[in-house]
A and B are shown apart, each in its own frame.
Chain A
Amino acid sequence: MPDFFDAYFAQQIINGLSLGLVYALVAIGFTLIFGILNVVNFAHGEIYTVGAFAGLLLIVGAAPPLLAVVLFAMAVGAAAGVGLERLAFRPIRRFSDEASLKSRAMREATLLSSLAVSIVTRELMVHFFSGEMQVIPQAALLQEVIAVGPLTLTNGNLFIFGASVVMLGGLQFMLYRTRVGLSIRAVSNNVLGARHVGIDTNRTIVATFAIGSALGAAAGILVGLYNGNIFPYMGFAPGVKAFVAMVMGGLSSIPGAVISALLLGVSESVATDFISAGWKDMIAYGLLVVTLIFFPQGLFGHGRERV
């Protein structure tokens, strides 16, 4: 029995935190979009993938600095998000009456229409780029090693950490200190009420999709460069984990989602040390179920009005 609390264990914690930050990065945009419509956006994983491909195309074409790549990916992501909202969400949205708002059939239909759009997007990407991993120019990878004693970090870790902090801080600022944020919070709280006080709900929702998708796309390119793989199916696994993190965090709380994502990442990573890596998802999902049993509203959720 080796001593588990050694440098390797510390490295494992670092691995877990960096994995958790990847989930967190995806979860931030996801939670923002979920919060406003109360509908799972299945296409968020595809937005993430689209962001990664857009960034990669720019890298291959022009090799600009990283910031430009991320901004470009965010712009493409925002555009894709607006398109997604137009295509999959708006046609099925009927806010004029209470009944449709409460109808489960309508809500599940929205969930499935985003799924349909995601299938089509993904298969189109497979068609044009093939399903395989794209070749990323070695210089663009975020895998430069930064050694801290016996532990290793990469510049990718730092970029992802930085991006999470900026996104989280920026979003909290926007949500609680600006007019757009106020209207987003109003719509997410009560759509009809927001409408009655004169908020343009459609515009607010479009803005939310644009922001959330831009964040998702930035996550895609950063994680793609950090992990060294960009392929049409890349969005699926982090998408599911981000979804889980969001719910564990309590839906309405973006910092909650980030903390849950970190918790998931670390538990997966540390679990690998004790049991076979194949079982690590068992730990992650087990953690989810146990959390929900003891915190039915998520870790940081506050009692919501039951619709």
Chain B
Amino acid sequence: MRPEFKRLKTLALAAAALACGYAAPARAADPLLIGYQMPLSGDYSQYGEMFRNAAELQLKAFNAAGGVDGTPVQILYEDSKNDPKEGVNIARKFADNPRILAALGDFSSTVSMAAGEVYAKVGMAQLSQTASHPEFTKVSKYQFRNITTQAYEGPFTAKWIRQTGPKSVAIVSIQNDWGISAAEEFAKAFKAEGGSVTGIEYFNPGNRDFRSILTKVARAKPDAIYLCMFYEEAASALQQAKQLNVKAPVFSTSSLYSPKLIELGGDAVNGVRMASTFVPENPAPEVQGFVSNFKSAYGNAPNMFAAQAYDAVGIMLAALKAAGPKATREQVRDALAATTGYPGVTGKTSFDPQTREPAKTLAKMVVENGQFKVIE
């Protein structure tokens, strides 16, 4: 029995020490803290990596410019593995640290919403750069996102396709919350524009062989194909479409906007058209500054996901600044909700006061000769 007691005692002491550590009041020079949860290991770690790089870039610039009235801001990163149960643990961890004023992340809607239930209970603002589940902002008044939902992007692209001619379209979509809403919103809008949808084909996440789906799509002979997936899957799907001699013009969601799409897909991705909020060729100084800084810091061009994270961090920092160095979590939430016309690299962002949905402008892009080009 003795050694057990000893161990328990050590544990209790450690616990007490930890408790004191948490309870220590913030000193004046201490930085303000925000938490950022993202997948840094597991099969989506590349996205987390990108978010962290973009966040660091934004944060460095912000602190160099004086931070919040001279107080610097620090971001604590936690790895969620894109696993809902870890996401919830992290949310609790952030919530327990009284110095953390708000949270960013997670990557997928599933994890963001699981964590969101915790943030809603403890009253802490959560801003996700990518969670596009239609119900994400309905969890509570503490949920924000800076990505446009598919309810906005779908109709935009549907109209665009109808203008260029195609009357019928086949949709290929990833079977997750984002994919379903993307496919359904688009299908609804396309039918409203007078077009017809030959079918929606969902594939399970992780699938990289699209030949069967593409053959099925080809049989229906649509005038165009609309892809709702991420750029890695799209690169494979487009290569396989080329191989199967599927010739219909391809349109897609903004998630395909990544230089990596062209690197991975080669010739096969030429001609793909998509709407995007982030256009690196945009001459606006903030966009050019971001693109050149990102390239010099990390050696590659930023994609849509990096831009989303860059702006999410920017919006959060602007809200912290507006709330001042002595702000509470509630004040940070209110400052975040008051965001209007934030000039980000993905366009100007404002939050709708009721739904907390962002409003942004979209540009039309096409891949031509291995380059992304803006269509006027």
Contact = CB atoms under 8 A, between A and B. Distances in A.
Interface of A: 2, 6, 8, 11-12, 15-16, 18-19, 22, 123, 126, 130-133, 135-136, 138, 141, 143, 145, 147, 152, 154, 227-229, 231-234, 236-237, 268-269, 272-273, 276-278, 280-281
A133 B211 CA distance: 19
Given A15-B215, A19-B212, A130-B45, 16 more contacts: A8-B215, A11-B215, A15-B212, A126-B42, A130-B46, A135-B263, A136-B264, A138-B266, A145-B242, A152-B243, A227-B208, A227-B209, A268-B212, A276-B202, A277-B207, A280-B212
Nearest to B232: A133
Contacts of B242: 143, 145
A129 B209 CA distance: 22
B212 A131 contact: no
A18 B211 contact: yes
19 contacts: A8-B218, A11-B244, A126-B45, A133-B232, A133-B236, A135-B263, A135-B264, A136-B264, A138-B266, A154-B243, A227-B240, A228-B239, A228-B240, A228-B265, A229-B236, A233-B43, A272-B212, A273-B215, A278-B202
B15 interface: no
B219 A8 contact: yes
B232 A15 contact: no
Interface string B226-247: 0000001001100110111100
Interface residue SS majority, chain B: helix
Contacts of A232: 43
B137 to A, nearest CB: 26
A177 B204 CA distance: 44
B192 to A, nearest CB: 24
B201 A132 contact: no
B86 interface: no
B65 interface: no
B175 interface: yes
Contacts of B26: none
Most buried by B among A132, A136, A231, A236: A132
B245 A12 contact: no
Nearest to A126: B45
B266 A152 contact: no
A122 to B, nearest CB: 9
